[in-house]
Amino acid sequence: MSEQAIKFKSSRDESFFKKMSLAELQKLPQHNGILNFKISETSFLILNILNDDSSAVKYFWKNSHDIESLDLWYRITKNEGCFIDVGAHTGLYSLTAIKANSKNNVISIEPYFMNLSRLITNLRLNNIYKNVTTIMGAISDFDGKSKFNITTEKSYMSKGGKISDHGLDIDVYQLDSLYSKTTDKEIKGIKIDTEGEDYKVLKGSQKIIEKYKPEIIIEVREENKILIGNFLNKYSYRFFDVLDLKKELNLQNYKIKNIINLYAKV
């Protein structure tokens, strides 16, 4: 099965796959096995079972996925500290943070049990058995219980789930309350990818942000850019599109067509 995928990939020029959507890639021969996921400064192993991880699928066919953000995260996490991966999915950012500095403490938070299980498997594939705390739950601006709705078939890794009024039962935490229970190291970086819950994640992290001013990579949409910008402006953050780190952004005037990964630093 994987041999068919590898043969098909080798029979086409790399540019053939670059503009293909995930849905189009999923129709190609299925890959099954372990990938050596490479970014500019390091690499790590991730598992793909019958195309069940969208990140692995994109990397297999395109030889890249989220590279600019992961390269930036690698640079952020080179200096020893505590780093929080909110919406960790199958662990690309968590793995990058440990590869950048094996002395780091990483808190990986993921609400969907299938994703978290694969994240733990990927940690084991890379012989990482310490310094990573894995937590199954969602992060928002309250502590309690909620529902988590996923749109993918339940045996696949989900990348579109969100807090909802229906779905799987989940625990919900504020980062401010969760942090005090997991580590006392200085928090130097937070990555946030929560399908629109991102502003609420910041609200629940106010004490952390006020105390440590961590560097932040966060998904931002047109509908929440002002809320996110106004919140972080209170702490003198500056903003950059991860794809263009030389140009500081004014979020008030910046039109977001879809979603951007925003880099925020003091």
Domain CATH for 208: 3.40.50.150
Domain co-membership, 88 together with 104: yes
Domain co-membership, 50 together with 146: no
Tell whether the model's pLDDT for residue 136 goes beyond 60: yes
Strand ranges in the chain using DSSP code E only, listed in sequence order: 33-38, 43-48, 82-86, 105-110, 132-136, 138-139, 144-149, 162-164, 168-173, 187-192, 215-221, 238-241, 244-248, 259-265
Q: What is the pLDDT of residues 142-175, one digit of tens each?
A: 999 998 888 766 556 667 677 888 888 999 999 9
Nearest to 2 by CA among 57, 66, 63, 55: 57
Domain co-membership, 216 together with 236: yes
Q: How many domains does the chain have?
A: 2
Residue of 81 and 258 predicted with greater confidence: 81
**CA–CA separation, 82 and 104 (whole Å):** 6
User: Which of 3-12, 181-190, 253-262 has the weakest average pLDDT?
Assistant: 181-190
Q: How far from 110 is each of 37, 48, 74, 86, 229, CA to CA, in Å?
A: 20, 18, 20, 7, 25
Q: What is the pLDDT of residues 44-86, one digit of tens each?
A: 999 999 888 999 999 999 999 999 999 999 999 999 999 999 9
Q: How far from 185 is each of 83, 94, 189, 208, CA to CA, in Å?
A: 9, 16, 12, 12
Q: Which domain holds residue 251?
A: 66-265
Domain co-membership, 259 together with 132: yes
Domain co-membership, 45 together with 153: no
| DSSP labels, 219-231 | EEETTTHHHHHHH
Tell whether the model's pLDDT for residue 198 goes beyond 90: yes
Residue 19 CA, chain-centre distance (Å), reads: 22
Domain co-membership, 47 together with 70: no
pLDDT for the residue numbered 264: 98
Domain co-membership, 132 together with 114: yes
Sign, Cα dihedral of 158, 257, 197, 262: positive
Domain co-membership, 3 together with 90: no
pLDDT for the residue numbered 265: 98
| Domain finish residue from 14, 40, 65 | 65
Q: 120 falls in which pLDDT band (50, 70, 90)? A: very high
Per-range mean pLDDT, top range of 28-37, 144-153, 177-186 = 28-37
Domain co-membership, 13 together with 73: no
Tell whether the model's pLDDT for residue 183 goes beyond 70: no
Q: Would you state the structure tokens that stand for residue 143, as one six-digit string?
A: 């502590």
Domain co-membership, 142 together with 241: yes
Question: CA angle 210-249-179, nearest 5°?
Answer: 25
pLDDT for the residue numbered 149: 85
pTM score of the predicted model: 0.94
Q: How far from 94 is each of 86, 91, 104, CA to CA, in Å?
A: 10, 5, 10
pLDDT for the residue numbered 123: 98
Domain co-membership, 7 together with 101: no
Domain co-membership, 253 together with 144: yes
Mean predicted confidence (pLDDT) in 202-224: 95
